[in-house]
Structure 1
Amino acid sequence: MKAIATHTVTTADTGEEIDGVTVLRDYHMNGGYDWMELIEEHGWAVIPSWGSEGWDLGQWPLVMVAGIRTADSIGNLFGVATYCEGDVTCTFYRSKSQQHEAITKHAHYWWKNGSAHGPTNLPETAAELPGRDRRPHTGWTD
């Protein structure tokens, strides 16, 4: 199975079907750092930190979150991929704000279960995080 393929995807926020999108798939050949290098060749970037203080996003090299901004003939597409010990999920959105919401949910999950260093006094859900922790750290360009 190829770790990177071209597929038809359905955007998670608008339900549109889009042909010919570069999708990330499971990668059990090598480790997380190798996955990171491979996806960078296809326009994806692993996001190291999230929120106001640049909190850890994942637990490298076992857990990583990656993003991409690309486009089709209609407009922008924003992708989110998660890598967890070789298992990969990949979703796309039309809006950057929905991409950020998806990344925030991943960040909250890893912060809440103690797998990544995050803010103290975490709320029960990602939706309850303050705005300052629901967006990219200023060190990451999206």
Structure 2
Amino acid sequence: MSTATMTQTVTTDTAEAITAPVLPADDRAGDGYDWMDTLEGTAWSVLPNWASEGWDAGSWPYIIFAVARTRDKDGELFGYGTNVEGDTSAHWFRSQDACFEAITAEVFFHWTSGQSDGPEILPATAAELPDRDRKPYPGRTD
């Protein structure tokens, strides 16, 4: 991977300074579907579904989740990013579990606000979701 596709950032869970793949920015020339095309050839891939039943992780083309996994000299790094109506942000974690918790919290927000389709009955907080709904959809192939 070229250094032009890397960025300096800090992990959310351990506050380590790291170098990680940059999440492509939205060029504002198209819509979210066009942005998803910019992920091809990068470390990032679209995350369409979340939890045990594969509920929506976002609401395309307005809310799009992406995930990445890489390695540095200290071990594995797990990232997730979002494109929400053209505003992009990326978050990196040393722990996969911490990354899953962060994705769960953000997906839960979109479910409870009615922006994404999720479980019919939701608890008061993301932390109260059953374990099976706090990790990737098992039907995911990558």
- Residue 101 of structure 1, CA deviation: 0.7
- Paired residue type of 1:24: L
On the 8 A contact 1:25/1:89 being kept in 2, the answer is no
Aligned residues: 138
Return the letter of the residue paired with 1:130. Answer: P
CA RMSD of superposed structures (Å)? 1.5
Say if 1:106 and 1:40 are closer, same or farther in 2 by CA, change over 3 A. farther
Aligned position for 1:94: 94
Q: Distance in 1 between matches of 2:99 and 2:140?
A: 14
- Secondary structure of 1:24's match? coil
Q: C-alpha separation between the residues in 1 aligned to 2:41 and 2:8?
A: 20
Q: Distance in 2 between matches of 1:38 and 1:26?
A: 9
> 2:104 touches 2:134 (CA, 8 Å); kept in 1?
yes
Partner residue in 1 for 2:68 = 68
**TM-score of the two chains, using structure 2 as the length reference:** 0.90
User: Mind listing any 5+ residue stretches in structure 2 that lack a counterpart?
Assistant: none
Worse-matched range after superposition: 25-34 or 96-105: 25-34
Q: Give me the whole-angstrom Cα distance separating, in 2, the residues matched to 1:141 and 1:134.
A: 17
CA displacement 1:37-83 (0-9 Å, x = unmatched)? 21131021111111111111110111011101111111101011011
Q: Runs of 4 or more off by more than 6 Å in structure 1?
A: none
Aligned to 1:24: 23
Which consecutive unaligned segments of at least 5 residues does structure 1 have? none
Q: Please state how far the C-alpha of 1:96 moved relative to its aligned partner.
A: 0.7
How far apart are residue 5 of structure 1 and its match? 4.7
Percent identity over paired residues = 45
Decide whether aligned partners of structure 1 residues 141 and 96 sit closer, same or farther in structure 2, where only a CA change above 3 A counts. Answer: farther
Deviation at 1:106, TM superposition (A): 1.4
CA distance in 2, matches of 1:48, 1:139: 11
Secondary structure of 1:68's aligned partner: strand
Structure 1 distance, partners of 2:41, 2:85, is 20
Offset of residue 6 of structure 1? 2.5
